Amino acid sequence: MRVQKRNHLGVVVWSYEGEEVERGDQHIILNAFFNRDDRDDGYFVWQRNDRFLEWYYTDRWYNVFKIHDRDTDAIRGWYCNISRPAVITDFLVYADDLELDVFVSPAGEITLKDEVEFNALDISAEDRARALEAADAIRQLAAAKTPPFDS
């Protein structure tokens, strides 16, 4: 399955392969491996070949990546992209990223990321409101340890 991360204008900014794990009427779960070099973002160190279990939804304004350590497979956290609902076909998944992100640590700490970039986007008031609602929904799901934040 090909995965495309697109910017708010629909331009592809990152693409990679994932393996389908589960598919429902309004979601797909993929298994993929982080394909960029190690990078420390201050709140999290991204590691090449970490395993991501990725949830994409056609009816939600976010996707969720459950990050597993490349060496031990331990859960390192959940990275949530606030995006327009995903488009899922037989061979392709993509979503338009809206810059705002939520990171949930294994201890349950919740960090909102990239607010400045989100606020600078030229998007509709409706898209902005839906994005903020999505960030709140993720916070609530994570705090309640609701799937996929239940491990």
What's the pLDDT tens digit per position in 47-67?
899 999 999 999 999 999 999
Lookup: tokens for 135: 């960030």
Confidence of residue 91 (pLDDT cuts 50, 70, 90): very high
Cis amide bond preceding 85, omega within 30: no
pTM for the predicted model, two decimal places: 0.94
Whether the per-residue pLDDT at 118 is higher than 80: the answer is yes
Nearest to 118 by CA among 95, 139, 138, 98: 98
Lookup: tokens for 129: 């409101």
Structural domains of the chain ordered from first start: 2-143 (2.40.380.10)
Whether the per-residue pLDDT at 151 is higher than 90: the answer is no
Whether the per-residue pLDDT at 105 is higher than 80: the answer is yes
State phi, psi for 18 to the nearest 5 degrees: -140, 160
47 versus 18: the higher-pLDDT residue is: 18
| Cα-based angle 40, 77, 66 (whole degrees, multiple of 5) | 115
Residue 42's identity, in one-letter code, is: G
Query: What is the structure's pLDDT at 37?
Result: 84
Query: What is the structure's pLDDT at 130?
Result: 98
User: Cα–Cα distance between 123 and 108 in angstroms, integer?
Assistant: 31
DSSP secondary structure letters along 4-60: EEE-TTS-EEEEEE-EEEEE-SSEEEEEEE--S--EE-SS-EE-TT-EEEEEEESSS
Which of 10-24, 37-51, 68-82, 129-143 is the least confident region? 37-51
